[in-house]
């Protein structure tokens, strides 16, 4: 429970202005990530993406991956496969920390679906992960996170849309 420093009135809430992303391909990069251990043994990896160009430039969205799932080995296998695809798309061969994926350009395809007149993104079907040129990426060897923290690893790849 959290006590608020002031009272809020839900009747004064603004209309929800959230719009689903349009279906299509976007150049994007991972700008943040986290890992959460749940009580049931589930370990979830969250990646926040930022769109780098086009009409949705600057828009962010999150994808979650059930990295460890004691109730579904298949679900965990799918999540780990997707993370490997992301790593390949951004040119990282081996990584031990999701931070190694940050700031590297990639191209993703988002699907959109309609349900009862409302649109939503099928984030679980964001495919394929590709380099920012829209082609399957060739991985380059990267050093483990400990070496990267010592400055041995060259930083993130250049962004095709420039630094914003």
b vs e for 57-96, b when ≥16 Cβ sit within 10 Å of the residue's Cβ?
eeeebebebbbbbeeeeeebeebeebbebbbbbbbbeebe
Tens-place pLDDT, residues 16-44: 766 777 888 888 999 999 999 998 999 99
Q: Domains of the chain: which residue ranges?
A: 21-147
Structure tokens given for 133 = 């040129």
Per-residue pLDDT at 157 exceeds 90:
no
Comparison of pLDDT for 153 and 13, the residue scoring more: 13
Query: Per CATH, the architecture of 21-147 is what?
Result: Beta Barrel (2.40)
Provide Rg for the chain, Cα atoms.
Answer: 18
Q: Using one digit for the tens of pLDDT, what is the confidence trace for 53-97?
A: 888 899 998 888 999 999 999 999 999 999 998 998 888 989 999
Predicted confidence band at 133 (pLDDT cuts at 50, 70, 90)? low
76 or 160, which is more confident: 76
């Amino acid at each position: 429970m959290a006590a608020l420093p002031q009272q809020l009135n839900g009747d004064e809430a603004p209309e929800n202005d959230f719009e689903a992303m349009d279906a299509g391909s976007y150049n994007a990069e991972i700008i943040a990530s986290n890992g959460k251990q749940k009580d049931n043994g589930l370990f979830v990896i969250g990646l926040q993406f930022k769109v780098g160009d086009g009409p949705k430039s600057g828009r962010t969205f999150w994808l979650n991956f059930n990295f460890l799932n004691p109730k579904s080995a298949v679900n965990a296998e799918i999540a780990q496969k997707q993370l490997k695809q992301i790593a390949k798309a951004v040119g990282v061969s081996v990584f031990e920390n999701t931070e190694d994926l940050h700031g590297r350009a990639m191209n993703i395809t988002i699907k959109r679906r309609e349900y009862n007149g409302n649109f939503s993104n099928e984030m679980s079907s964001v495919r394929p992960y590709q380099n920012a040129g829209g082609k399957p990426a060739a991985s380059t060897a990267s050093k483990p996170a400990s070496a990267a923290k010592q400055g041995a690893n060259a930083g993130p790849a250049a962004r095709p849309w420039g630094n914003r």
